[in-house]
Amino acid sequence: MGVTRADLYNGRFHRPFHGVRTRTAPTEHRELCRAATLALPPGAVFSHRSAAALHGFPLPFRAQPQSVEVAVFEPDRTPRARGVIGHQLTPTGQRVVERDGLRILAAEEVWVQLGALLTVEELIIAGDYVITGNEPYSEDPPPTTRRLLDGALHRHGRHRGVRNLRLAAERVRYGSLSPQETRVRLALEDAGLPSPELNYRVEGSAGEARAMIDLAYPAYRVAIEYLGDHHRATASAYRDDIHRRERLVAWGWDVIFVTAADPLPEVASRVRTALRRSLTK
């Protein structure tokens, strides 16, 4: 390719792994994983935190991958290389999928691998994501299904983190489109309130979709809308929020807006008040 030996070592290229050169330093973990494929054995698949990042898991900052994590199946030997964390797995029916040309453990397998790393709440958030994805909004299929998630947990046996995984699995639900929506749902349930409908679609008399509510109690006509930072990023987004609330109120809904600054116990109290108010109407 016209590259001299001197060019390989004079700093012209970045060297993320032994024997690998890139024109620029990888700035995203996906780019680092792509570079790593040139140095990994053929049977290696991305796993643990690297696979979680590649699947788009909503990981807390402390769990973001720094090194590339890969796994091989017995009897293959764990790869040893600078910048790579290797794992050896016993084959138990794990699925391997391909995304953007990268071989990755399936989302349900990665979820159970994070059992010893994440808290119960963080596992619930990740579990909600992997069985929901963006499907309620885009209708694209999620990374995995509830059946596959339960199957991966069953195969996990008594390995590290299984207690947290079992506690989390009991509360994982389809429908949440963000970590904060999951946190609000958990706060409502922990306060003894009924579990709300997630991303509930309000339909018109002809069956057309009028609106989608983040968390809803349709029988009480109570809507909870979580407003993330993107809702105030532009004037149009801000106006859309106002118009959506006005439409829902006109259709008979009691709308509660929630932001990251709102203490969740206080949110639960506001929702409880709204539910009681509905019963007096």
Question: What's the CATH class of domain 179-279?
Answer: alpha beta
Residues of the chain with pLDDT under 70: 204-209, 229-238
Total Cβ atoms within 10 A of residue 273: 13
Write down the domain spans for the chain: 5-169, 179-279
Classify residue 170 as exposed, middle or buried by CB count within 10 Å of its CB (0-12, 13-18, 19+).
Answer: exposed
Alpha-carbon span 178 to 176, nearest angstrom: 6
102, 46 Cβ separation under 8 angstroms: yes
pLDDT at 6: 87
pLDDT at 231: 45
Alpha-carbon span 253 to 204, nearest angstrom: 14
The verdict on pTM exceeding 0.85 is yes
pLDDT at 23: 86
Q: What is the per-residue pLDDT across 128-153, written as a single tens digit (0 to 9) for each?
A: 999 999 999 899 999 999 999 999 99
